[in-house]
Amino acid sequence: MPKSARCCGGPANGCTSLAGHGGTARLTVCARADGDRTVVTVRGDLDLSADQGFQRALRSALTDSGKGIDLDLGGVEFCDCSGLNALLGIRQQALDQSKTVTIHTISPAAARVFTLTGTLPLFDPEADADQEEDAARVEVVQLRRAMQTRGLIDLARGILMATFTLTAEEAWHVLVTTSQNTNTKLHRTAQQLVNSIHAQALPEATRTQLSTAVTQVIATRGRTEEAE
């Protein structure tokens, strides 16, 4: 995918800064017209704290566009299920208006969520028109699954944060890494963690990979703090 474009420069040019729980701006969404489409550049953390504001910014960009939105997610540093849900939701709204939403640039942090859920092809600008019907059917399944598992995954992340004193991003990394290394769907790994709170033992493979992932995250944090 092409390199990320520069942000458009401020509120006057369609830029919106969204604050997280601490009041600090953690997400910037910039929209600029490009012919009959709108290019939306997103930078920062796509998480629950910016959920409503992010959805409003996407809806505004879609309304202002003639044929749809082209997303630049190259500057996304963190993305969880709430960010994915917002993007799936705006794509559905675009289809309802005979428009499209495509992703032209994506960061590794954002790509992980789309890869785990198999949703990236739904935003492919190179997709053939005759594949739209099949993609629409897949989208319905993926959107329903994402909505059903969002609360479960957020709960599992909270358990990791409380148990191991991790940040939200560290907990997400541990959850995703454990899921990948055990070849288990993310929502199933989350369910295992939630069940463990109710005295149901974690599977051996999950427990081993979870311990390894937590150790690696804490070690990385220590090296970063020493370097600073």
Q: Which of 127, 159, 182 is the last residue of a domain?
A: 127
Among 67, 92, 127, residue at a domain's last position: 127
> Which of the four pLDDT bands, split at 50, 70 and 90, describes residue 223?
confident
Mean of per-residue pLDDT scores for the chain: 79
Q: Are 155 and 123 in a shared domain?
A: no
Domain that holds residue 178: 151-227
Return d(Cα 82, Cα 86) in angstroms, integer: 6
Q: Is the pLDDT of residue 147 over 80?
A: no
56 and 159 assigned to the same domain? no
Q: Is residue 209 part of a domain?
A: yes
The residue among 59 and 11 whose pLDDT is bigger is: 59
Which of 127, 143, 165 finishes a domain?
A: 127
* pLDDT tens string 47-80: 777 678 888 899 999 999 999 999 999 999 988 8
Three-class SS string for the chain? CCCCCCCCCCHHHCEEEEECCCCCEEEEEEEEEECCEEEEEEEEEECHHHHHHHHHHHHHHHHHCCCEEEEEEEEEEEECHHHHHHHHHHHHHHHHCCCEEEEEEECHHHHHHHHHHCCHHHHCCCCCHHHHHHHHHHHHHHHHHHHHHHHHHHHHHHHHHHHHCCCHHHHHHHHHHHHHHCCCCHHHHHHHHHHHHCCCCCCHHHHHHHHHHHHHHHHHHHHHHHHC
Q: Residue 129: which pLDDT band, with cuts at 50, 70 and 90?
A: very low
β-pairing verdict for 25-34 and 68-79: unpaired
Percentage of residues in the chain with pLDDT exceeding 70? 77
Least confident window among 3-12, 40-49, 101-110, 134-143: 3-12
96 has pLDDT over 90: no
Q: For the chain, what is the domain count?
A: 2
- For residue 157, tell me if it sits in a domain: yes
Same domain, 182 and 219: yes
What's residue 25's pLDDT?
54
Does any domain span residue 2?
no
The answer to whether residues 74 and 180 belong to one domain is no
Q: What pLDDT does residue 135 have?
A: 52
CATH code, domain carrying 67: 3.30.750.24
pLDDT band, very low/low/confident/very high, at 42 (cuts 50, 70, 90): very high
Q: Are residues 196 and 119 in the same domain?
A: no
Average pLDDT over residues 85-108: 89
Asked whether the whole model's pTM tops 0.75, one would answer no
The reported pLDDT for the residue numbered 27 is 85
Same-domain pairing of 24 and 108: yes
Q: String of b and e for 164-194 (b: at least 16 CB within 10 Å)?
A: bebebbbbbbbbbbbbbbbebebbebbbbbb
